[in-house]
């Protein structure tokens, strides 16, 4: 079996299971797909897994800090400035090799930023969002691994 077909089979099965499990756990399957996409775009394998998770979590962290500052000081009209500063930090920290995959950082911004300033205080949901992203990247790794097994080229 060629690698693309094997990967397609592994991805289809894992995504189906992922959607079922996350719906039962109250998590967000679509955020997991963002993590998975970041994993694949970062080059896959262990290096892609590390970069996608680190970049995504860093993006989530910096947008959370920005939203918190906006609320703490009661200046929601300046959210745009706080988020601009957060993205500036995310881009600058790309000098660190582990944080160099910018798409993951920006996806992390979107994951947490979608809740707006008030959403930052919904800790249970934010934890589920973060876990969904991270586990999604791991599911991407497992899909690559399973695809390799189906072609007898496991790594």
Give pLDDT tens digits for 75-111: 999 999 999 999 999 999 999 999 999 999 999 999 9
| 137 neighbors 44 (Cβ within 8 angstroms) | no
Average pLDDT rounded to a whole number, residues 5-30: 92
- Which band of pLDDT confidence, cut at 50, 70 and 90, is reported for residue 153? low
CA distance 96 to 76: 31
pLDDT for 7 equals 85
For the purposes of burial, counting CB atoms within 10 Å of the CB of 31, is it exposed (0-12), middle (13-18) or buried (19 or more)?
buried
Closest CA to 55 of 127, 145, 137: 137
CA distance 51 to 46: 9
pTM of the predicted structure, to 2 decimals: 0.89
List, for residues 102-152, the tens digit of each pLDDT value.
999 999 999 998 887 778 888 899 999 999 999 999 999 999 888 888 887
List, for residues 30-84, the tens digit of each pLDDT value.
999 999 999 999 999 999 999 999 999 999 999 999 999 999 999 999 999 999 9
CA distance 21 to 138: 14
């Amino acid at each position: 079996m060629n690698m693309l077909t094997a990967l397609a089979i592994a991805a289809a099965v894992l995504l189906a299971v992922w959607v079922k499990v996350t719906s039962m756990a109250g998590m967000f399957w679509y955020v997991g797909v963002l993590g998975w996409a970041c994993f694949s775009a970062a080059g896959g394998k262990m290096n892609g897994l590390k970069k996608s998770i680190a970049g995504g979590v860093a993006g989530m962290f910096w947008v959370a800090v920005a939203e918190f500052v906006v609320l703490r000081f009661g200046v929601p009209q300046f959210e745009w400035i706080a988020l601009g500063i957060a993205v500036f930090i995310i881009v600058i920290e790309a000098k660190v090799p582990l944080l160099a995959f910018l798409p993951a950082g920006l996806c992390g911004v979107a994951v947490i930023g979608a809740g707006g300033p008030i959403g930052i205080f919904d800790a249970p949901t934010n934890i589920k969002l973060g876990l969904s992203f991270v586990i999604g990247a791991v599911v991407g790794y497992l899909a690559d691994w399973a695809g390799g097994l189906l072609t007898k080229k496991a790594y």
